[in-house]
Every structure is written in C-alpha cells, then in structure tokens.
Chain A
C-alpha cells in the first residue's frame, strides 16, 4: 500500500502550457505539503495545507496554485510553465495537530517535471 502517491511520475511538456500534479495520502494525516527539489537536489517547501486550509505559502509565483478538495488530497496546478519550473516536485503529509507540530513527514516518490 502506497502511503503518499503522486501522479504522474514523469511529466514532459512545453513552455507556456498548464499542467497539474495530483497527490493523495492514505495515512489519515491532516497536513499535506508540496516541495520543489532543483537540479542540485536542494529541497524547498512551497505550500502546506491542514484539513483543506492553507497554512504555509512560501514565496512561490502565483502561477502555482495548490488545491485541496479534502484532507487526503493536495493537487498542484501550474500555469504558463517556464523553463525554470523544471524540477522534481514532492508531496508529503504529516499528523501535525492539537499543538503537536514537528511530526515526521511522509514523502511521495516525486514527479519529475521537464519543460522543453
């Protein structure tokens, strides 16, 4: 059973297109995240949602729009893709609630986005 699953695993598209990445977790966690890993393997948080509410939004261009239809899903939509968006995008989840933050995060296997 995959705990945090992302689709698609690979995404190759042209500059200017709009694309979405989906993420689902079956761990019953309340909090979900999106991270970007660049070509030098540096990881940086983009967004975090808790039970469909946006909690963390880190200096990300507004071409990136997360959407959380329910607490088990957090999708990432990207408009007008640019060359610099090429990266690996990771979804994660954790059970941060009731004042118990800093819980371990569980990661998906990543979506490798390549912009031509």
Chain B
C-alpha cells in the first residue's frame, strides 16, 4: 500500500522568506506525486505533479518540488512567501486503478505567512 507523510502539521514563515513543506512517500513502484493547495472554504487546487519525467518539477505561483528517490521525499519549496500563500497544503500519491486513480492524501500542512 502506498502512503505519504507530511512531517509538519503547521509551518509559519515571514513574508518574503523561503518556504519548505516536507513530504515523504512510500510506494512499491514508481509513484505519481502531487501537491495540492486548499484555501479556506475552497476545493483543492493542483500546484504541481511528478510523473517520472524531470525530478525537479515547477508548479504554479512560484512553487516547485524535487523528487528524490533515494530519500523517498517530495518536498515543496518557494523562494519567497507571499501573504496569499497562506493555506493548507496536501502531498498526494496516486495509484492507477484501471480507468481511475486512487489518491492517498497526507495529513496536510497549514502554512501561515506573517508580515
């Protein structure tokens, strides 16, 4: 069975400083990994995805993530935080099931951005 572990339930950064949200995965084969963001009272929005192409993945809003197989990690980073980045972030591993995909979510990391 596959799983993801988000190591921090809450991260607080100052505006303009770097963001690091950590994620480790467990999968018996080459995984498909995603980061989604959820703003208050909203659905989930895709930030970026890794599907066995380049190991450094660039996403929307300046976010990127690096797939490291040796460390089974897929950490999300951004060079400079903005107030609008404050939200809940989910690391997700996907498993293909015929004509559908089963997503397994991490427990989420709440990002707080302060002035």
Instruction: Report which A residues bind B (CB closer than 8 A).
Output: 4, 30-31, 33, 40-45, 48-51, 53, 55-56, 58, 90, 92, 94, 96-97, 101-110
Q: In the complex, A45→B2 CA distance in Å?
A: 14
Name the residue of chain A whose CB is nearest to the CB of B94.
A102
Q: Contact between B100 and A48 (Cβ–Cβ < 8 Å)?
A: yes
For residue A105, which residues in chain B have a CB less than 8 angstroms away from its CB?
Answer: 44, 46, 101, 103
Per-residue interface assignment for chain B, residues 86 to 101, with 1 indicating a CB less than 8 Å from any chain A CB and 0 otherwise: 0010100011111111
For residue A97, which residues in chain B have a CB less than 8 angstroms away from its CB?
Answer: 99
For residue B45, which residues in chain A have a CB less than 8 angstroms away from its CB?
Answer: 107
Pair count A-B, CB < 8 A:
83
The tally of residues in B whose CB lies under 8 Å from a CB in A reads: 27
For chain B, residues 58 to 115, give those with C-beta under 8 angstroms from any C-beta of chain A. Answer: 88, 90, 94-103, 105, 107-108
- Report if B3 contacts A (CB, 8 A): no
Instruction: Report which B residues bind A (CB closer than 8 A).
Output: 32, 34, 36, 38, 41-46, 49, 51, 88, 90, 94-103, 105, 107-108
- Min Cβ gap A32→B in Å is 9
**25 A-B contacts (beta carbon < 8 Å):** A4-B43, A30-B99, A31-B99, A40-B107, A42-B105, A42-B108, A43-B44, A43-B103, A48-B100, A48-B102, A49-B100, A50-B98, A55-B98, A56-B97, A96-B100, A101-B96, A101-B101, A102-B32, A102-B95, A102-B101, A104-B46, A105-B103, A107-B43, A107-B44, A110-B41
